[in-house]
């Protein structure tokens, strides 16, 4: 055993009581065992100097094209690379969308419960320990598969989620995006004893203070920042939901954008998604809050494109987080067949539709149009990266939206076999503010005097609707509702006077 590894093991063993507390809070025990050859998961040795004493496992579909994306997936405490590969659903989308997956694995030689050292600066900092080993795996896989260096992503659960946030902070030049599931903000704790406070206490730092922790992880960095997805159950009592809010505050601050959502929508599995767009109108941070879910990774077993994974300890049947994370990163659009829910066998050669534009907006709808694509049988319409409709013409109206909210749309042509072509460029549209409704109760005489009605032939009529309100005097009274401004209708019931 290398002396450096022995020293690390002794140092970790010295804080037994603190380690036990961390383990109790973050333990996500899964079945141990070697990687399964039947699953296609293979161990790689000799990927680098490996200062963090990690193991490397990988999965890639047959005939993976060059310049494909690369995903790094980090297990939770007590779990294994094979268990995470089996239950998380990443292998399904690797096959569907053409990318490779690397599963780093820590062991009890590093931590008695096989937790990644998200709370240890000697393990989670740039150029050090486990973080450096993971980046060595990235470099090895890029050479092995010819992966696109600009499309490397990292995701993790629990302790793996905490390490994911630290990797994004320390290596924004390596990772284009990340996904933190039931995890912690970057650099939340710098010791084992401080870890429990991160996991279960209220987070009191400001967005700027959280953002400073990221900026301090790689001082002087001036490049673009990773796009970050955050997954959290509202009933998680291992890593409290306050951590998801802190992650949201941290990464929106790093991006220099508001903590107020650009859009909010509801997904399957009692999931609420809030989206935070960058200055160009593209999603930079997305937060998924799953009502009633405890501590674990959200999966949704099934054969549908948006379904994935299998249930096990800390793999919870609610929604396929892997699918929505992949769509957020654009992995479905990177696929040779255009990806998406209608991607057919082998994909389609149909080009991306051009001329996509918002032709009209209301408080709760957006109307779209685009140029026709030759040989297209239909068109897949996407809102904020999720397919919402299949249109047979080159127009579509998306309804039931939230007033005063910005949405991002793309479309893709689908051929007669059901194979989807290349996805279009994005267009953004903001619904109008909700109409202000005001109600006024007064005599007909007072309504006329206030300019809400007029009189002719001894009778009173509401401005705009011209509804007859009765005789023009102080003895007849009505409630008038104003919406839009200057347009009045009789509303004697169901409308409270302003």
| Residue 112 placed within a domain | yes
| Residue 234 placed within a domain | yes
pLDDT confidence band for 12 (50 / 70 / 90)? very low
Q: Does the annotation count 182 as an active-site position?
A: no
CATH code, 394:
2.60.40.10
One domain, residues 418 and 289:
no
Both tokens of 381, joined, read: 């319409």
| Residue 341 placed within a domain | no
**pLDDT score recorded for residue 401:** 83
Range of the domain at 385: 357-430
CA distances (Å), 3 to each of 6, 15, 51, 138, in order? 5, 19, 11, 25
Q: Which of 270-284, 336-350, 352-366, 477-491 has the lowest mean pLDDT?
A: 336-350
**pLDDT score recorded for residue 52:** 97
Work out the number of other CB atoms within 10 angstroms of the CB of residue 468. Answer: 11
Q: Which of 91, 125, 158, 378 is catalytic?
A: 158
pLDDT in tens, 69-95: 999 999 999 999 999 999 999 999 999
| Residue 350 placed within a domain | no
One domain, residues 43 and 138:
yes
pLDDT in tens, 467-490: 999 999 989 999 998 877 788 899
| Residue 153 placed within a domain | yes
**pLDDT score recorded for residue 345:** 34
Q: Is the pLDDT of residue 191 over 60?
A: yes
pLDDT in tens, 110-122: 988 899 999 999 9
Beta-bridge mates of residue 461: 454, 468
pLDDT in tens, 409-429: 999 998 887 788 888 888 889
**pLDDT score recorded for residue 348:** 59
- Measure the CA–CA gap between 443 and 103, rounded to whole angstroms: 75
Domain count, the chain: 3
- Measure the CA–CA gap between 381 and 403, rounded to whole angstroms: 20
One domain, residues 414 and 288:
no
pTM over 0.85: no
The set of residues, in sequence order, having a beta carbon less than 8 Å from that of 239 and lying 6+ positions away, is 25, 26, 158, 161, 182, 183, 184, 199, 200, 232, 295
Q: Is the pLDDT of residue 10 over 50?
A: no
The set of residues, in sequence order, having a beta carbon less than 8 Å from that of 295 and lying 6+ positions away, is 28, 158, 182, 233, 236, 237, 238, 239, 314
CATH code, 87:
3.40.50.1820
């Amino acid at each position: 055993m290398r002396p450096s590894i022995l020293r690390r093991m002794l140092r970790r063993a010295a804080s037994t009581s603190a380690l036990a507390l961390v383990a109790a809070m973050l333990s996500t025990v899964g079945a141990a065992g070697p990687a399964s050859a039947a699953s296609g998961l293979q161990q790689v040795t000799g990927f680098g100097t490996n200062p963090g004493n990690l193991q490397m496992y990988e999965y890639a579909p047959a005939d993976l094209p060059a310049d494909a994306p690369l995903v790094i997936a980090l297990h939770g405490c007590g779990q294994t690379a094979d268990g995470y590969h089996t239950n998380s659903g990443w292998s399904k989308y690797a096959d569907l969308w053409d990318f490779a997956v690397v599963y780093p694995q820590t062991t009890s030689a590093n931590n008695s419960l096989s937790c990644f050292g998200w709370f240890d600066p000697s393990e989670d900092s740039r150029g050090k320990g486990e973080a450096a080993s993971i980046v060595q795996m990235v470099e090895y896989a890029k050479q092995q598969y010819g992966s696109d260096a600009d499309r490397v992503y990292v995701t993790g659960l629990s302790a793996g989620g905490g390490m994911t946030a630290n990797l994004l902070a320390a290596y924004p030049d390596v990772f284009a995006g990340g996904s933190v599931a039931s995890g912690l903000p970057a650099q939340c704790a710098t010791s084992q004893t401080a870890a429990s406070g991160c996991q279960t206490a209220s987070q009191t730092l400001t967005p700027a203070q959280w953002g400073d922790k990221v900026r301090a992880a790689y001082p002087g960095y001036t490049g673009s920042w990773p796009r970050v997805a955050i997954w959290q159950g509202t009933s998680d009592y291992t890593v409290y939901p306050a951590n998801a809010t802190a992650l949201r505050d941290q990464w929106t601050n790093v991006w220099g954008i508001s903590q107020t959502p650009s859009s909010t929508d509801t997904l399957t599995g009692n999931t609420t998604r809030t989206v935070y767009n960058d200055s160009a109108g593209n999603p930079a941070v997305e937060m998924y809050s799953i009502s009633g879910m405890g501590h674990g990774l959200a999966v949704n077993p099934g054969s549908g494109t948006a379904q994935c994974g299998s249930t096990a300890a800390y793999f919870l049947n609610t929604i396929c987080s892997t699918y929505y994370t992949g769509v957020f990163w654009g992995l479905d659009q990177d696929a040779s067949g255009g990806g998406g829910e209608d991607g057919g066998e082998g994909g389609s050669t149909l080009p991306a539709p051009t001329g996509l534009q918002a032709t009209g907006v209301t408080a709760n709808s957006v109307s779209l149009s685009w140029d026709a694509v030759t040989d297209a049988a239909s068109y897949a319409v996407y809102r904020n990266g999720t397919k919402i409709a299949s249109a047979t013409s080159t127009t579509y109206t998306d309804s039931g939206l939230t007033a005063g909210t910005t949405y991002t749309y793309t479309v893709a042509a689908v051929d007669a076999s059901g194979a989807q072509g290349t996805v279009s460029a994005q267009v953004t549209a903001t619904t109008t503010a909700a109409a202000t409704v005001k109600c006024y109760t007064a005599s007909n005489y007072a309504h006329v005097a206030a300019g809400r009605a007029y009189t002719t032939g001894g009778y009173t009529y509401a401005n705009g609707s011209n509804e007859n309100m009765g005789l023009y005097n102080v003895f007849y009274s009505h409630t008038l509702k104003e919406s839009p401004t200057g347009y009045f209708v009789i509303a004697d019931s169901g409308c409270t006077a302003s």
